[in-house]
Structure formats: C-alpha cells, structure tokens
C-alpha cells in the first residue's frame, strides 16, 4: 500500500442527489446567464466535504456520457421508465463538468458505458492504492475489497455510510463480488430490470449465501421449495439478462492515469468559476474545509 489515496466520484449520482435535495424548496439559484446552479453547487459541496475527510492525493469524477449504453442495447427497458430530467437540471449536466474542471478535478467518461463501469475499470487498474468511491448507488458495493472503500451518500452534506469489505460481509453474509448475483435475482426497480419475479432481497441474499452464484442456484434448484423452483424456472431467462445488467464492467477503454488524476489544488480557476456563476457560498465552504485553496478576499 502506497501513501497515495484516490477518490473516485460518481458525478451523476451526486448531481441528481444535490438537485433533488434543494428542488422541493425551489432553491435553484441562477447565474448571470440564467442557468440554474443548485445541483452543481451541491455536487461541489458533497465532493469536497468527503475530500476534506479522506484527504486524497488523486481525484477523478466519472460521468455517464449519454442515455444509451451497452446495457440499453441488450435490454430496451433498461432505465427506460425513468422520467426525463427536470428542465432546471438539464443545463447543469455540462455546467457540472465545467465546475469540476475549474476545481482542478479530472473528469472521465466514455460513450456507451456508465460511470459505474468507469469507476470499476479504474479501481481495477489501481490495485494496492487506497481508493474511495463516493456515490449514492449501492451497485458499487460489488467493488469493495482490501483497498476499495465505498461511501454511500446519506441525507445532508458530510453524511455517508462508509463501507469496507468487512462491513459488507457482516451485513450481507456474502463477498462483495457476489453482490451482482443478488441484484440479478431481486432485480432493480430504479434501473428497470425485474430479476426473478417474486424474489426479493432477503431471499436473494439467502440463495447466494447457500449456493454462491446464480449458476449454483439453478444447479441446486431441486433443493428449494416448489414455490421458489417455479419462480426460478419461469424467470430464468430474465435472471440471465439481469446478471449481465447488474455486473459492473472493468474493460472500459478509458484514457486515464494516476498522473492525470493527481490533485494539485484549486485556486484561480475555482475563483473565476465562483465569480462567473454567483456561487459565493462555495467560497465560504472552501474556507471552512481548508481543502480548496481559494483566495478568500473579495468574497463576503
């Protein structure tokens, strides 16, 4: 293990979470160009609140690069049920990447893949480096191991549930790399794939504890109750598909290196971004965390 620490950020998860935290109150905030900034403001606050605790030497923010991915190619209904993003959020997608770049953070994303896959790929490239994954998505728990940690966003800034592999084993009784088998069995309503109809998380975890994999479950099907056997036989085709959808891929053709991801501190560019977008609150937040090196003069 080196002295380096890498923070991998699920940019879209933080952006959506930040938007909906403030949207009910109508606190969108607008810059001089009339673009809402509430989600971007929250994204930066979430990110640097975590960085202030972790003190990473390297940071990368990973993004979804469009609606269509290899998963939508495999399964038309994947995420298809999700409503279109609110009009106030749409222009913040590009503004968010401008913001992270202005704060000297490396952005990463590849068309046809999700941010989860980019995070998974990078985490496989950096074995031996202490790596923290900041997200709101439990799917990323499958990446936990001896050097990967997952921080799941909770309500409010600076609140996370911090997972290591030991905590995951204690809660689920399986290995992190088996988690996608659980998701394949139980499905994911948010992502729009059903898994095996009638099998929930509790049963799915129990089955994987006993049989290890979805193949093991199907091979041992005669040991199960008639009701579960029936569900599995009727849902086997969707189970196979759901497993492919649930598993994070580690072969994204990313152009990424530790050198590119090295965090050098945010100064002049961050100040310019704050000024251009009327985000004086971020300057105050920066001074509080001490992790963002912005010039405090001129900001009240």
pLDDT category of residue 298 using cuts at 50, 70 and 90? very low
Give 222-243 pLDDT, tens digit per residue: 999 999 999 999 999 999 999 9
Residues 163 and 14 in one domain: yes
Instruction: Identify the CATH number of the domain in which residue 148 sits.
Output: 3.40.50.1010
Query: Count of domains in the chain?
Result: 2
Distance CA 14, CA 44 (A): 9
Instruction: Identify the CATH number of the domain in which residue 242 sits.
Output: 1.10.150.20
Residues 52 and 149 in one domain: yes
Residues 242 and 257 in one domain: no
Residues 164 and 177 in one domain: no
Residues 120 and 12 in one domain: yes
pTM above 0.75, yes or no: yes
Is the Cβ–Cβ distance between 69 and 113 less than 8 Å? yes
Does residue 171 register a pLDDT over 70?
Answer: yes
Residues 137 and 193 in one domain: no
Q: Does 63 map to a domain? A: yes
Residues 54 and 111 in one domain: yes
Characterize the bridge pairing of strands 148-153 and 160-163: antiparallel
Residues 64 and 117 in one domain: yes
Q: Does 295 map to a domain? A: no
Residues 50 and 86 in one domain: yes
| pLDDT for res 196 | 97
Q: Residue 5 — φ and ψ, nearest 5°?
A: -130, 135
Q: Does 196 map to a domain? A: yes
Q: Does 296 map to a domain? A: no
Does residue 189 register a pLDDT over 50?
Answer: yes
**Average pLDDT in the chain:** 91
Share of the chain above pLDDT 90, in %: 73
More confident residue, 218 or 294: 218
Q: Does 300 map to a domain? A: no
Distance CA 90, CA 182 (A): 33
Does residue 290 register a pLDDT over 80?
Answer: no
CA distance readout (Å), 1 to 70, 109, 130, 146: 34, 27, 7, 10
Residues 69 and 209 in one domain: no
Q: Which domain holds residue 212?
A: 171-246
Is the Cβ–Cβ distance between 11 and 100 less than 8 Å? yes
pLDDT category of residue 32 using cuts at 50, 70 and 90? confident
Residues 202 and 95 in one domain: no
Q: Does 134 map to a domain? A: yes
Question: What average pLDDT does this structure show over 17-37?
Answer: 82
Q: Does 294 map to a domain? A: no
Residues 188 and 282 in one domain: no
Radius of gyration for the alpha carbons in the chain, expressed in angstroms and rounded? 21
Does residue 291 register a pLDDT over 70?
Answer: no
38-47, 169-178, 185-194, 280-289, range with greatest mean pLDDT:
169-178
| Helical residues (DSSP H) of the chain, grouped into ranges | 11-22, 38-54, 70-74, 92-102, 115-125, 165-172, 179-186, 201-211, 214-219, 226-246, 258-261, 268-276, 280-289
Residue 153 DSSP one-character state: E
């Amino acid at each position: 293990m080196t002295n380096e620490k890498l923070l991998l950020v699920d940019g879209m998860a933080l952006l959506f979470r930040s938007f909906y935290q403030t949207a009910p109150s109508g606190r969108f905030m607008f810059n001089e160009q009339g673009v809402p900034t509430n989600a971007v403001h929250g994204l930066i606050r979430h990110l640097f609140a975590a960085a202030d605790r972790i003190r990473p030497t390297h940071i990368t923010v990973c993004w979804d690069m469009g609606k269509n991915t290899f998963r939508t190619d495999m399964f038309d209904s994947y995420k298809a049920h999700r409503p279109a993003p609110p009009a106030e959020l749409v222009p913040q997608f590009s503004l968010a990447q401008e913001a992270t770049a202005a704060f000297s953070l490396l952005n990463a994303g590849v068309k046809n893949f999700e941010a989860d896959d980019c995070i998974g790929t990078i985490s496989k490239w950096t074995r031996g480096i202490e790596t923290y994954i900041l997200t709101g998505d439990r799917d990323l728990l499958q990446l936990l191991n001896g050097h990967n940690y997952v921080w799941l966003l909770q309500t409010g800034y600076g609140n996370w549930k911090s997972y290591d592999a030991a905590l995951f084993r204690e809660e689920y009784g399986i290995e992190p790399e088996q988690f996608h088998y659980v998701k394949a069995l139980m499905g994911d309503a948010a992502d729009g794939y059903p898994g095996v109809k009638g099998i929930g998380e509790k049963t799915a975890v129990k089955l994987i504890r006993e049989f290890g994999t979805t193949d093991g479950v199907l091979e041992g099907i005669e040991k199960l109750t008639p009701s579960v056997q029936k569900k599995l036989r009727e849902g086997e085709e969707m189970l196979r598909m759901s497993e492919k959808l649930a598993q994070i891929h580690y072969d994204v053709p990313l152009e990424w290196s530790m050198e590119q991801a090295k965090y050098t501190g945010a100064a002049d560019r961050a100040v310019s971004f704050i000024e251009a977008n009327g985000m004086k609150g971020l300057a105050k937040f920066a001074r509080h965390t001490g992790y963002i090196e912005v010039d405090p003069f001129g900001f009240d």
